[in-house]
């Protein structure tokens, strides 16, 4: 099984506009090209299971490449929501909720 991560990272770095739509189109082209190349191998020809395994390896590298950005966005969203909860707890005088929100905010930062 090949290591597709460097290839995916290099292709993303070469995008003119690094947007979600651009990356999705790139990933789809990469999948199609990989499958076409693997199906064209004749000495010896690969089985459909082998082709699927390689396509799934590429998909795994795509997910690995996207994961840090997704986690960062989720972390930011969580911090915003906890700050909002903290402000609400402070306005309402809810000491226990305020304490829990502060602890959660500290854990997220």
pLDDT in tens, 35-63: 999 999 988 999 999 999 999 999 988 88
pLDDT number for residue 55: 92
pLDDT in tens, 87-108: 888 888 888 877 888 888 788 7
In the chain, at which residue ranges do the beta strands (DSSP E only) sit?
none
pLDDT in tens, 73-89: 888 888 888 888 888 88
pLDDT number for residue 56: 93
**DSSP for residue 17:** S
Other CB atoms within a 10 A radius of the CB of residue 101 amount to 21
pLDDT number for residue 96: 82
- Please check the confidence at residue 26 and state whether its pLDDT lies above 80: yes
- Please check the confidence at residue 66 and state whether its pLDDT lies above 90: no
Q: Return the closest-CA partner of residue 25 out of 5, 6, 38, 11.
A: 11
Percent residues over pLDDT 70 in the chain: 99
pLDDT number for residue 92: 86
Domain boundaries, the chain: 5-108
Rg of the Cα atoms in the chain: 22
pLDDT number for residue 67: 83
């Amino acid at each position: 099984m090949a290591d597709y991560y460097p290839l995916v990272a290099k292709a993303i770095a070469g995008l003119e506009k690094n947007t979600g739509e651009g990356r999705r189109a790139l990933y789809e082209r990469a999948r199609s090209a990989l499958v076409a190349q693997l199906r064209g191998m004749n000495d010896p020809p690969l089985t459909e299971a082998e082709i699927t395994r390689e396509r799934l390896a590429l998909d795994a590298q795509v997910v690995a490449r996207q994961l840090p950005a997704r986690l960062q966005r989720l972390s930011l969203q969580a911090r915003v929501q906890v700050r909002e909860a903290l402000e609400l707890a402070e306005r309402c005088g809810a000491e226990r909720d305020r304490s829990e929100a502060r602890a959660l905010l500290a854990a997220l930062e």
